C-alpha cells in the first residue's frame, strides 16, 4: 500500500506527480490476468509493483516527526493493453505508460489505477 497517498489525490489520482516523484521505475513483484466484468473489452493484467525511488517530501506528522516515503511500498496497477501477461521476471524494473484517468478511481484510500501499457525500464520499443 502506498503511504501518504493523500499527497497525490484529491478526488482523482495525480499520476503525473506520482510518476515524477517515483522516477516511473518500479520493481516487478507479480501479475494476474484482468478482464472487466462491466466492459469485456477492457482486458489485460494487474501488476503488483514495488516503489524503488521516491523524491517527494511528505512533510511532518502532528508530532513533528518526518513522514516516511514510499520506497519499498507495493501497489497494484491494471494494464489495459489486451494482452494476458507481461514477459518479465520477479525483480525486473518496469515503467508505466499512458495513464487512463477516466478508468482510474480513488475510493477512500484505495487506488484503482489503470494504464495503457507497461515496458521494461530502458526499453524504448513500447508505445508511449
Q: What is the average pLDDT across 40-56?
A: 95
Please return the burial class of 21, using the count of CB atoms within 10 Å of its CB with bins 0-12, 13-18 and 19+: buried
Q: Grid coordinates representing 51?
A: 516503489
Q: What is the pLDDT of residue 128?
A: 43
Could you tell me if residue 38 is inside a domain? yes
Could you tell me if residue 58 is inside a domain? yes
Could you tell me if residue 45 is inside a domain? yes
**What are the pLDDT digits (tens) for 70-87?**
999 999 999 999 998 899
**How many domains does the chain contain in total?**
1
Q: What is the pLDDT of residue 124?
A: 59
CATH number, domain of 49, equals 2.40.50
The whole-model pTM stands at: 0.84
Domain that holds residue 33: 5-120
Could you tell me if residue 127 is inside a domain? no
pLDDT at 9 over 80: no
**What are the pLDDT digits (tens) for 89-104?**
999 999 999 999 999 9
Amino acid at each position: 500500500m502506498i503511504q501518504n497517498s493523500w499527497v497525490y489525490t484529491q478526488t482523482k489520482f495525480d499520476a503525473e506527480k506520482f510518476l515524477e516523484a517515483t522516477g516511473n521505475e518500479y520493481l516487478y513483484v507479480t501479475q494476474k490476468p484482468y478482464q472487466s466484468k462491466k466492459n469485456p473489452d477492457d482486458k489485460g493484467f494487474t501488476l503488483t509493483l514495488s516503489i524503488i525511488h521516491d523524491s517527494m517530501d511528505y512533510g511532518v506528522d502532528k508530532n513533528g516527526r518526518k513522514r516516511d516515503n514510499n520506497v519499498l511500498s507495493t501497489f497494484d496497477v491494471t494494464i489495459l493493453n489486451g494482452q494476458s501477461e507481461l514477459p518479465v521476471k520477479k525483480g525486473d524494473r518496469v515503467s508505466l505508460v499512458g495513464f487512463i484517468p477516466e478508468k482510474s478511481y480513488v475510493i477512500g484510500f484505495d487506488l484503482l489505477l489503470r494504464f495503457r501499457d507497461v515496458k521494461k525500464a530502458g526499453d524504448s520499443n513500447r508505445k508511449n
